[in-house]
Amino acid sequence: MHKPALKSMKVFLQSKGYDVEHKDFQEVFDIYKNVCLQETTAYQNEVFDTSFFDISGANENVELIALSQVIKTEIEQIQNEPQKLYVLIDRYIEQCPYEELKFLIFSGVKKLPFLTMDRIFKIKYYQYQEVWMEKIEQHLDVLPQEEKKVLMHHYDKMRDNIPLLFRAYQKSFDTDEVEKMRSVAENKLLLLQNFNPQMLEENYKAFYDESPEKIKLVKEVLSLTSSYTKSFLKHIPMEELLSLIEEIKKQKRDEEESKKRIIKHIKILEESIAMASDGDFDIACMSAIEELNNEELQKVLHYLGSQNKFFVNKFESVAKQFGSNFKAKVF
């Protein structure tokens, strides 16, 4: 298992206020591991908490009141001209909170139908959703790709929550915050790679679900069987997909071997029936009963019975001579 160099761990811990100058490697390593785990846990709790994006304060509230008055004045000029509403939304969409701007427009515009305003509002916010998501992705490009994919998946799920998405967009411009995210995300990835690699896919599910390795495994399963859908397989861990592939392949090998056994004994029994000696037929029956399982034997009997209406009775007559083990398979 790879472990970070002693010097790099000491520099990292000293930057956090730990006195590790005279500690040996194992002592430093244990402290380093615990600190990284604590930071990772705190980071996970913080970054997926909606309050992480709540950055408004008293000064902003005062500014919002003043901005609302300006917007109200401009709304009075819209009258029944939809194009002016588009312009107003473009001008204030990143200055005024979503619910506030929506309230001001819907309560202030008197000469445009409600459905028209609602459609315009949705169109503009859909456009900005795409812009904000693109910017967030650009700003988070410094993060490990595994972490970036997870966060973008998280933001994509909350994209219809316009206030939260906009806060995330604003937060992504904070280089200090993004740098903090990068540092902790890198430590998290390092810890998982070194100490708990089996948890990588669980922690970075969004990343691994789209990875070339997983896509290849999903395609392989689909090429082997039609029992599963692509969307279902996509959410199965890769380790389980590998086991499933082996299981399906084994099942196919078993089925092929079973098919060969059935064909073999059908041929032997057909040839023995054509012979004059009953002894050859008895041996063929015994061989079939010994080598075939219940299902295989029933398939042989069904096929040969359909070809010769006397076959099953003749076979059963021979089988009765060989005791309970053979009877259990046939009757």
pLDDT in tens, 141-184: 999 999 999 999 999 998 888 888 988 899 899 999 899 889 88
Domain presence at residue 29: no
CA-nearest of 32, 31, 23, 24 to 4 is 32
Domain check: are 57 and 169 in the same one?
yes
- Within a domain: 118: yes
- Give the pLDDT confidence score for residue 153 in this predicted structure: 93
Task: Reply yes or no on whether the pLDDT at 58 is more than 60.
Answer: no
Residues 6+ positions from 122 with CB-CB distance below 8 Å: none
Q: What integer is the mean pLDDT of 60-67?
A: 77
Domain, as residue range, for 302:
257-330
Residue 31 within a domain = no
Q: What is the pLDDT of residue 176?
A: 92
Place of tokens 């007559």: 317
Reported as a pLDDT band with limits 50, 70 and 90, residue 1 is very low
pLDDT of residue 56: 47
> The dihedral of CA 326, 328, 329, 330: what is its sign?
positive
pLDDT of residue 51: 47
- Count: domains in the chain: 2
Looking at 129, 150, 173, the residue that finishes a domain is 173
